[in-house]
Amino acid sequence: MPRKGARVVHDSCQVSGETAPSLRVAAVVLAAGEALRFGAPKQRLLLPRVLRRLARAGIRDVVVVAGAYPLDAGSAHVVTATDWERGPGASLRAGLAALGPDVDAAVVVLADGPDLAPASVTRVVEAWRAGGEEVVAASYGGVRGHPLVLGRDAWGDVPDEGLRGTGVRLVPCDDLGAPGDVDTPEDLLALGLGADEE
């Protein structure tokens, strides 16, 4: 059953019908990894770009999850997942636990996805608001990716391995481009990110 006051969403993610009640959405940025393949704390390099893109999407309440390295995230709230080595789920649990009780859903993004499209954040949030599913994720070429929206009812059962095995509603975002996945310095150059954006 759709959430009370939900709107109807179509494949194009355009919405129509009644306006949904105000629901507060925050963001969790996963940035706890050791970045062994990169050879340096890549999240320190990429995080500012990801945070700017979340701001452009209108997400003001942001929690950054650190782990292997201390991080400076400007105005965003940084929490440390002391058990980050257990897996991405441990980092996600730490981020969700840091959100206020008035937050209804979390947009989950990765610090090593520097090409995150602000419009993709807007699209998956609108799809979540419009439907009844607690977990909604962007897809690219039919493959699940980020951003992902996690409704509060789904926060209590996050395994160490993360949410890859969790059923989700996929929202196509091919036209917006994938956020990228920087694992090595070569990946960074391939994305044309030798210099920071304005």
Reported as a single tens digit per residue, the pLDDT across 133-177 is 999 999 999 999 999 999 999 999 899 999 988 889 999 999 999
Q: What gap in Å lies between CA 186 and CA 171, rounded to an integer?
A: 29
- 139 CB-contact burial (10 Å; exposed 0-12 / middle 13-18 / buried 19+): middle
pLDDT for position 132: 82
Statement: 23-190 belongs to CATH 3.90.550.10 = yes
Q: What gap in Å lies between CA 147 and CA 98, rounded to an integer?
A: 19
pLDDT for position 21: 55
Which of 155, 170, 178, 184 has the alpha carbon at shortest distance from 89?
Answer: 155
Domain boundaries, the chain: 23-190
Say if residues 46 and 79 touch (Cβ distance below 8 Å): no
Q: What gap in Å lies between CA 52 and CA 97, rounded to an integer?
A: 23
Reported as a single tens digit per residue, the pLDDT across 14-23 is 332 333 457 8
